[in-house]
Amino acid sequence: MGAFTTAFHTRLANDSTLTELLSTFRENPAVFSAFPIPAEVILPYVIIGEPFSDEEFDCKVEPGREQYRDLRCYAKGDGSLIEIEAISERVRALFHNYNLPITGFDNAFICTCSGPTVGPDEENIYSRIVTVRVVAMEA
C-alpha cells in the first residue's frame, strides 16, 4: 500500500467504534484497499477507493499534494438504513477536520469530507460514499 492508502486504512481499521459495526475477514476488520474484494467477505465492510484526483498543492516553500478519494461503505439491504447510516457517518467523523498522519509528509494533513451520499445500491446491499479531500505537505 502507498503512504496515503496506508494512512486511510490505519485510521479506519484502528477505530473500535467503526470496527464494532463491521464484519471481520481473516481476523481483521473488514476494511479493504483493493477492488474487487474476496468473494467470501461478509457484509458490512468499507472499501478505500483509489484516488480520483491527485494534484500538486505546492506553496511558496514546500511541495504538497491534494488528493480526493471515496470511502465506500456497504451493508445489508434489509429494509432499514440504521446500519449503513451508522457506518458511513462514523467514517465521515473519522476524517472530517482530522490531521491525518501520512508517512513522508509533514505539516497540514487537512481532511475535509463530503457525504455520505447514496452509492449504487444492489439487490440486498446498501451503499454510501464518503468523499475525503486531503492536503499534505511533503517532508
Please state the pTM of the whole predicted model. Answer: 0.90
Assigned C-alpha cell, 28 = 481483521
Structural domain boundaries enclosing 13: 3-138
Give the DSSP per-residue string, 25-87: ETTEESEESSSSPPTTPPSSEEEEEEEEEEEE---SS--EEEEEEEEEEEEE-SS--HHHHHH
CB 31 within 8 A of CB 13: yes
Q: Residue 138: its pLDDT value, please?
A: 76
What's the CATH number where 103 sits?
3.30.2000.30
* Domain count of the fold of the chain: 1
Q: How many angstroms separate the CA atoms of 13 and 29, rounded?
A: 6
pLDDT tens per residue, range 62-115: 767 889 999 999 999 998 999 999 999 999 999 999 988 888 887 656 788 999
Q: Lowest-pLDDT range, 16-25, 33-42, 45-54, 60-69?
A: 60-69
Q: How many angstroms separate the CA atoms of 31 and 25, rounded?
A: 9
